[in-house]
Amino acid sequence: MTTEVDYYEILGCERTADDATIKSAYRKLAMKYHPDRTGGCSESEAKFKAASQAYEVLKDPQKRAAYDRYGHAAFQQGGMGGGGGGAQDFGAFSDIFESVFGEFMGGGRGSAGGRPNRRGADLRYDMEISLEEAFDGKSTDITIEVSAPCDSCEGSGAKPGTSAKTCRTCSGHGKVRAQQGFFVVERACPSCHGAGQIIEEACTDCRGEGRVDKPKTLTINVPPGVDEGTRIRLSGEGEAGARGAPSGDLYIFLHVKRHEIFKREGTTLYAHAPISFTTAALGGEIEIPGLDGEVHTIKIAPGTQSGREQRQRGAGMPVLQGRGRGDLVVRIDVETPTKLSPRQRELLEEFRTIETGEECPQSQGFFSKIKAALG
């Protein structure tokens, strides 16, 4: 009976490790046990293959979720929660085998010439912007540390002046086939590890990887109207592929900082405006400075109560990649004065003596109901 080693244990990571930790752990093991560095040591080669297999599963969110739930059985016949491995499960097993094992054992859909897709990994960058910047849009430069093609070997991985040679074991296909009972199993070539080529003399700068980590400065154009979580994709600006393979993509995730005055919901802006009780009673106007730099005049009707909302059409956020703008909604809060001069108090006392109750019908109605309820 073969004992299967836990993928997290192979990489030396906790099961709660994030993507960056898993990637870092794999890189250290790959650099340590890569066949080009260990002189063909069989034990090191086995460790390199085990680490690569573990990383190929754990770097993919769907495969990792399946592995966390079912373990190695997720990628075996009857796995992924299926039962029994009967005829009804065979098609599903075939799909799982092709989509999961195909990547790191030489199958890889969409690969050219039958070789596995060694495209570089996609990268994520989180950018924080202000609400004003989300309104106007902005152009800014960012600098990230990313794997890029090695200048010395031009991404080939071979020592300058030399070149990679076609693998004799797989004749450059990157995979070999073996008969197992009624099935023909296809797996990555053990000699070239699916590359289809053998590098006899590795580039000393990139150690045969064809890529090195270096800073890269990119210009990011943020369009007007972006919202929290908006994603900007920069094609080909991710991690470089191994040995000249295509680069991955860079995804910019935008996060909008909380604003002191405005709260945003879609293209609508909300704001609270405290007004004096005299303005609420007599009516008037207030001015609200907008994100567009204009001053918006809000008319207050006589008798306005706290909680009333005044809508200013077209004074909200721009429509992302469209025309027009949303609205500005101002919620009115009537403020009760806390400091009164003797004269102001005198006038209010005089006003109280001539109140009839009809000035505030809601409070009059409320207390009338209480009196009626109490008999």
Residues of the binding site for Zn(2+): 150, 153, 167, 170, 189, 192, 203, 206
> What is the CA 108 to chain-centroid distance, rounded?
25
CA distance 125 to 253: 6
Q: Are 248 and 235 in contact (CB under 8 A)?
A: no
Cα angle, residue 17 at apex, residues 14 and 21 outer, rounded to 5°: 110
CA distance 208 to 202: 5
CA distance 59 to 13: 13
CA distance 275 to 300: 9
Q: Are 336 and 276 in contact (CB under 8 A)?
A: no
CA distance 272 to 279: 16
> What is the CA 21 to chain-centroid distance, rounded?
17
Q: Are 263 and 270 in contact (CB under 8 A)?
A: yes
Listed residue (9, 12, 30) closest to 21, CA to CA: 12
Tell me the CA end-to-end span of the chain in Å, nearest whole number: 87
Q: Spell out the residues 6+ positions from residue 222 whose beta carbon is closer than 8 angstroms to its own.
A: 127, 129, 133, 134, 137, 138, 139, 140, 232, 254
**Binding site membership: which residues?**
150, 153, 167, 170, 189, 192, 203, 206
Q: Where are the alpha helices (DSSP H) in the chain?
A: 7-11, 19-33, 35-38, 42-58, 61-70, 87-96, 102-104, 131-136, 277-282, 342-353, 361-373
Q: Spell out the residues 6+ positions from residue 344 whose beta carbon is closer than 8 angstroms to its own.
A: 337
DSSP string, 285-321: EEEEE-TTSPEEEEEE-TTPPTT-EEEETT-SPBPTT
Residue 134 in tokens: 């989300």
Q: Are 83 and 92 in contact (CB under 8 A)?
A: no
